[in-house]
Amino acid sequence: MKYTGRITGLIIMLIAIVAVRVYAYIYLDYSFSHLPIPGVIGLCIAFWAGKQYDKVKFYSEKDSLTGFYNRRFVDTLFPSLLAQMDRRNEKLSVAILDCDRFKDINDRYGHKKGDLVLQELSALLFTSIRKSDIVARWGGDEFLIIAPYADEEDIKVIISRFKNKLQELSQNIQIDISVSSGYAIYPSDAKTLDDLINIADSRMYGYKNTARYC
């Protein structure tokens, strides 16, 4: 969680305290040696108000279960990412990851265990992406990776790195975990977020169905 609200609130309050004390010193003969009790109270209020703002801002952009970004944040950010890719003539990759048989996990082990699986998958995914990548929880058990400056080979490496860690996760939580994935590349595959996701989704279900019948 960022501290923007708290920092901004404290700075504004400090400026106000200094301005009031300077005014009181010049025009009201008020000594700087007096303890600024109202100012201290004001700082506490400003910190509290800033903390509430930071919480609201955090939960408006993040999924509370996984800590990843939500759809609202992605929809807001994505146009600026595409504009950046266009200016630099670069590619951007979008990948969809879906936890296989997640409904069965919920039915067999309960929703608390299902939530744990999603949290563990999120932690694992976070260690598999690059610093420049953005991950969002896209649906119940679906995750979206947005990888700027990444072509087809780059996104394959990211996905493979994640999937290679799933066996260890399965052993740790004693549940067989596997993930299906699909990806699309901007601008060669599509030029809008919806179209990129539709292509990635279609590829993911194609791979999933192929694996099911092999």
Residues involved in catalysis: 141
- Residues 99, 118: contact at Cβ < 8 Å? yes
The letter for the amino acid at 113 is K
CB-based contact 73:193 (threshold 8 Å): no
Long-range contacts of 106-110 (CB under 8 A, 24+ apart): 109/175
Asked whether the bond before 187 is cis by omega within 30 degrees of 0, the reply is yes
- Residue among 55, 43, 73 at smallest CA distance from 4: 55
Are 177 and 90 a contacting pair, CB within 8 Å? no
| Residue 85 Rama label (left phi>0; alpha psi -120 to 50; beta) | alpha
Give the span between the Cα atoms of 97 and 129, in whole angstroms.
Answer: 13
Nearest to 13 by CA among 37, 35, 45: 45
